[in-house]
Chains A and B, each alone.
Chain A
Amino acid sequence: MSQSLPCRHVSVRKADVATLVLVTACVHWVWEGCLDLTVGTRGMLVKSRYVQAARTTKAARRLDGLEALLLASVAVREKDNGVASIVNRLLRKDSVDPWGRVIQEVQRYLLGLGYYSEVQRKGLGKLLGKELVPHCDRILPLQGHVGKVRDLLDDKTFQ
């Protein structure tokens, strides 16, 4: 399933968008100094890698969006903070469409900031609920900030 990105007529696989968003939120907290991530391996014969997160003592500055949800999903007990477990708590295990939920959370956050509007659909479309309409005049100028996200993801402090 693909996800259409607003204002630019581009589609990306939904799972790829959601994982990119989650990875960015994680790395952002590392960059802010509020999370430490370490890579470990488990398994005797077939080894698999996992990433463990640990909350640092640094007070987190107030952020909304997926960053806030991710940090709120970090458990008090350190051993419960494999990144997969944190994301699982964020998504809730019973989510039918977990990647869709990640994207909805981001859209809801952008709606709150006025980058989208909610518009009532007409006719049978009403059954689908309100439609989110992006404000391209506000969204497109944000492209100027994407380089900073690229730098964040390109930071080789944590691989």
Chain B
Amino acid sequence: MSESLVVPSALAYLYADTLQDLFCEQRPALLESVSAVPPRERQEG
């Protein structure tokens, strides 16, 4: 990761469409924890 000038989270933002499939499959527990956080957004659906 150190070769890139930007942190991985920023790369994930810029190219989210190309990574989405992967992270949905690979990290279910972490995904659940993170996405459980903002209640207002969840209410919006």
Contact = CB atoms under 8 A, between A and B. Distances in A.
SS of B interface (majority): helix
Interface of B: 1, 3-20, 22-23, 26-38, 40-41, 44
Interface string A118-159: 000000000000000000000100110110111011101011
Given A67-B9, A106-B13, A15 B35 contact: yes
A54 interface: no
A146 B5 CA distance: 12
A1 B44 CA distance: 9
Contacts of A26: 30, 34
Contacts of A12: 16-17, 20
A12 B44 CA distance: 16
Interface size of A as a range? 35 or more
Contacts of B37: 84, 87-88, 91, 98
B8 A20 contact: no
A25 B22 contact: no
B29 A113 contact: no
Contact of B12 (A24, A51, A96, A158): A24
A148 B12 CA distance: 10
Interface string A9-50: 010100111011111111110010000010100000000111
A28 B7 contact: yes
A150 B26 contact: no
Contacts of A107: 13
